[in-house]
Amino acid sequence: MSDVRTTWRYFDFWLLGAVAILSIFSIAMIRSAIAGNITLAGYDQRQAIFVIIGFGVILLTTAIDYRLWASVNRILYYGMAGVLGVLFVVGQAIFGSARWFETTYFSIQPSELAKIIIILALAEFFSRNVNRVNDPRVIFRSLLLTVGIVLWIILQPNLGTSIVILVIWFTLLWASGLNLKMLAAFAGVAVIIPIIGYPLLADYQKNRILNFIFPDPSARHGDIYNIQQALISIGSGGWFGKGYNLGTQVQLRFLKVRHSDFIFSAMAEEFGFVGTVIVIGLLLFVIYRILRAARLARDTYGALICYGVATLIAFQAIVNIGVNLRLVPATGLPLPFISYGGSAMLSILLGVGLVQSVILRHQSA
């Protein structure tokens, strides 16, 4: 019993506290964003339920030794690939395409959980091959492992999540010791691939890129309109915002998808520049604590899990905020801990639980 108390002594309450503040703020912000919208009624309550369940997931995952996940790694990986395959087949047969399994009360998006599964799979693979990470055969095998999940997600189609997973793969490859020569080669490939792959994109994905490069200021619908309203919302917030539940762009519904993709803009209008800086600061603090956990980890597997979760949070936050500021094309990636979405919230909190498990056992024998 004393060993259990000693282990939990290392629990990172600073990390948990920052995550709790962001999650509670998410519920409040969604409540304001959907105010008066009958079709979105109850979304804030759903988010609250997912947050409560998610914190239970954190505690449960923390209690499980993270090294046990390596023993069921293949089951998790092939199980997720199978679920994504079934979703693609069923979605094509019934809807033409699908990203969610629909239930009576909520939707399940397997690709969100796939982000955590691929972190565990790649962390286990690279930890076994850490001394051969510059071997082209090892790199190719790790890429095949990644593509085994990414392929099904691209077919949904869901380009944003596919890019997130590829970024996680590259980051863990680099964190495992990829040398500078290989790193430079991959950087060159990363520049060429988007050019080659552009013709293969779906029409709406091509339009997003073209609208980003050649925007039409007179557009009154679609992605252009959404971005315009997002920028107006951010600008109208000023330094301190118009106040909670008082943002005109939000409450008069000029800002679309304000509870998910563009919740940063809604937040900026109501809480201003200062409010957004505080939220970004909290996200940076969460990332810092996770990177600290990676440094403390007693083995490569644990460190790579932490690096993967930190990359997931950082990249999605950068892209989501970049979309709101019109710095990158629209992608549909959520703002971690803030945007509405049960699958996204549970997955990211599962990642936090894995990090806590690494921290608890960083001095274990």
Average pLDDT of span 39-52: 91
Nearest Cα to Cα of residue 88 among 33, 27, 154: 154
Q: How much is the CA Rg of the chain, to the nearest whole Å?
A: 21
What's the rounded mean pLDDT across residues 117-143? 93
Average pLDDT over residues 83-99: 71
* Cα dist from 15 to 49, 288, 294, whole Å: 21, 9, 13
Note the pLDDT of residue 24: 96
Statement: residue 361 has pLDDT above 80: yes
Average pLDDT along the chain: 87
Answer whether 159's CB lies under 8 Å from 111's CB.
no
Mean pLDDT of 337-346: 93
Long-range Cβ contacts of 289-296 (<8 Å, 24+ apart)? 289/12, 289/14, 289/15, 289/18, 290/15, 290/352, 290/355, 293/12, 293/15, 293/355, 293/356, 293/358, 293/359, 293/362, 294/358, 296/358, 296/359, 296/362
Hey, CA dihedral for 260, 346, 126, 10, is it positive or negative?
positive
User: So what's the pLDDT on residue 203?
Assistant: 66
pLDDT band at 2 (very low <50, low <70, confident <90, very high): very low
Q: Which residue has the higher pLDDT, 41 or 218?
A: 41
Q: Is 70 exceeded by the pLDDT of residue 199?
A: no
- Minimal CA–CA distance to 47: which of 345, 282, 348? 345
Residue 1 has pLDDT above 50, yes or no: no
The Cα–Cα gap between 292 and 288 comes to: 6
The pTM for the full model equals 0.91
Least confident among 161-165, 188-192, 193-197, 254-258: 193-197
Rounded to the nearest angstrom, the gap between the alpha carbon of residue 224 and the centroid of all alpha carbons in its chain is 24
Q: Is the pLDDT of residue 67 over 60?
A: yes
Q: Mind listing the pLDDT tens digit for each residue in 155-174?
A: 887 888 999 999 999 999 99
Burial call 133-164: b when 16+ CB within 10 Å, e when fewer? beeeebbeebeebbebbbebbbbbebbbbbbb
Residues 6 or more apart whose CB falls under 8 angstroms from that of 253 comprise 37
Cα–Cα separations (whole angstroms), residue 56 to 61, 126, 221 = 9, 29, 41
> Taking a C-beta distance cutoff of 8 angstroms, is the pair 301, 123 a contact?
yes
pLDDT for position 216? 64
Cα–Cα distance measured from residue 301 to residue 316, given in angstroms and rounded to the nearest whole number: 23
Residue 318 pLDDT > 70 = yes
pLDDT digits (tens, 9 = 90+) for 241-281: 999 988 888 888 888 888 888 999 999 999 999 999 999 99
Residues 6 or more apart whose Cβ sits within 8 Å of residue 263: 29, 30, 33, 335, 338, 339, 340
pLDDT in tens, 281-296: 999 999 999 999 999 9
Most confident of 76-80, 251-255, 324-328, 361-365: 76-80
Worst-scoring range by mean pLDDT, 9-13, 36-40, 131-135? 36-40
What does the pLDDT average to over 231-235?
91
Using DSSP, how many helices (H) and how many strands (E) does the chain show?
A: 15, 2
pLDDT of residue 319: 95
> Other CB atoms closer than 10 Å to residue 7's CB: what's the count?
17
Contacts with 52 (C-beta within 8 Å, 6 or more apart), sequence order: none
Q: Please indicate whether residue 201 or residue 10 has the higher confidence score (pLDDT).
A: 10
